[in-house]
């Protein structure tokens, strides 16, 4: 396993993402992921699977203190009273006394950021949230949040076709982790000639090359989702090879502004 070291914390650079995975498939996926070596699990209130994630963790037998567990607060629950109630619900559903990381899932300009982050600080002061982060925040919004309290990460769509250069530069400046979701561009990397050529040189797939490229970067973690056991195993099989500097540059050269994820809360991204 590769770890990223941020703000005194040690984060497994490869996590198991559970977006769009529900019910028994989610529970079994978490159990299997932990059985084969994953130690970073990512969920969210909006995924409506925190119950299953919690049960999967409990059933796995892996001690809680060996797992990095992340969840996220829905943007329509950002007002203080609702945020407190829903955060308690997340902890209960996940069957845990604390979250390693809790994120504001999307920016919501209708609620003052100070109000929501103030509630998160209450939970942090009580030891129930160890680190506070954000997701889908622009560089300007990252700085605003970090001015209110120490922000641990910005979780954003990041893959070879979406460079997120400005997010990464801002994160480096502020000492934040960048967490990449949709890291294989919803499967688009599978047919990429460059990624397949690099993979052939290592006996790896284009997906494995992409995930290796992400976690080999400084202060970047990736959380690919995988509903099938074979995909979870393949995604985890990326620690026995390393990309050269030239190969890293070749993947970076694929970048363009190909954004795949949109939400009613999507911000206006800085471009260039």
* Residues 208-267 pLDDT 10s: 999 999 999 999 999 999 999 999 999 999 999 999 999 999 999 999 999 999 999 999
| C-alpha–C-alpha distance, residues 99 and 71, integer Å | 7
Tell me the pairing of strands 3-6 and 9-12. Answer: antiparallel
| Mean of pLDDT values over 27-34 | 98
Q: Which of 156, 99, 160 is nearest to 131 (CA)?
A: 99
Check pLDDT > 90 for residue 271: no
Q: Is the pLDDT of residue 106 over 80?
A: yes
The SS3 assignment for 103 reads: strand
Residue 202's nearest CA partner among 251, 260, 164 is: 251
Q: What residue segments make up the domains of the chain, in order of their start? A: 3-185+218-241
Q: What is the mean pLDDT of the chain?
A: 97
> Roughly how many angstroms between the first and final C-alpha of the chain, as a whole number?
34
- Region 74-97: mean pLDDT is 98
CATH number assigned to the domain covering 3-185+218-241 = 3.20.20.100
Position 124 scores a pLDDT of 98
Mean per-residue pLDDT for 170-190? 98
- Of residues 16, 38, 47, 181, which has the active-site annotation? 47
Q: Residue 78: which pLDDT band, with cuts at 50, 70 and 90?
A: very high
pLDDT class for 173, splitting at 50, 70, 90? very high
Q: Tokens in use for 5?
A: 């070291």
Q: Is the pLDDT of residue 50 over 50?
A: yes
Per-residue DSSP letters for 155-205? EEE-BTTB--HHHHHHHHHHT-EEEEESTTGGGGGGG-HHHHHHHHHHT--
Q: What is the mean pLDDT of residues 79-86?
A: 98
Task: Give the C-alpha separation, 173 to 76, whole Å.
Answer: 30
**Nearest by Cα to 236 from 33, 54, 31:** 33
Q: Which residues are 70's β-sheet partners?
A: 42, 101
Q: What is the pLDDT of residue 270?
A: 78
- For residue 259, CA distances in Å to 160, 222, 255 come to 11, 17, 11
- Decide if 38 is catalytic: no
Nearest to 32 by CA among 20, 41, 44, 43: 41
pLDDT number for residue 272: 46
């Amino acid at each position: 396993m590769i770890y990223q070291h941020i703000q005194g914390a040690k984060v497994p650079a490869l996590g198991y993402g559970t977006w769009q995975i529900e019910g028994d498939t989610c529970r079994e996926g978490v159990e299997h992921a932990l059985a084969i070596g994953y130690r970073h699990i990512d969920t969210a209130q909006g995924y409506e699977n925190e119950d299953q994630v919690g049960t999967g963790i409990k059933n796995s037998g892996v001690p809680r203190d060996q797992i990095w567990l992340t969840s996220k607060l829905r943007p329509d629950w950002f007002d203080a009273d609702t945020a407190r109630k829903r955060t308690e619900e997340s902890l209960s559903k996940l069957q845990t006394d604390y979250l390693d990381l809790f994120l504001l899932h999307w920016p919501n300009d209708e609620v003052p950021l100070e109000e929501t982050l103030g509630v998160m600080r209450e939970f942090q002061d009580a030891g129930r949230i160890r680190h506070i982060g954000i997701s889908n925040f622009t560089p300007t919004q990252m700085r605003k949040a970090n001015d209110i309290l120490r922000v641990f990460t910005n979780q954003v769509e990041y893959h070879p076709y979406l460079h997120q250069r400005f997010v990464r530069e801002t994160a480096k400046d502020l000492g934040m982790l960048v967490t990449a979701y949709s890291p294989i561009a919803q499967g688009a990397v599978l047919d990429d000639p460059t990624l397949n050529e690099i993979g052939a040189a290592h006996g790896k797939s284009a997906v494995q090359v992409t995930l290796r490229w992400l976690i080999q970067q400084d202060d970047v973690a990736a959380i690919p989702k995988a509903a099938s056991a074979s995909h979870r195993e393949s995604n985890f099989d990326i620690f026995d090879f390393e990309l050269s500097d030239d190969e890293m540059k070749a993947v970076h050269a694929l970048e363009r502004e190909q954004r795949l994820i949109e939400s009613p809360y999507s911000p206006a991204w800085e471009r260039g």
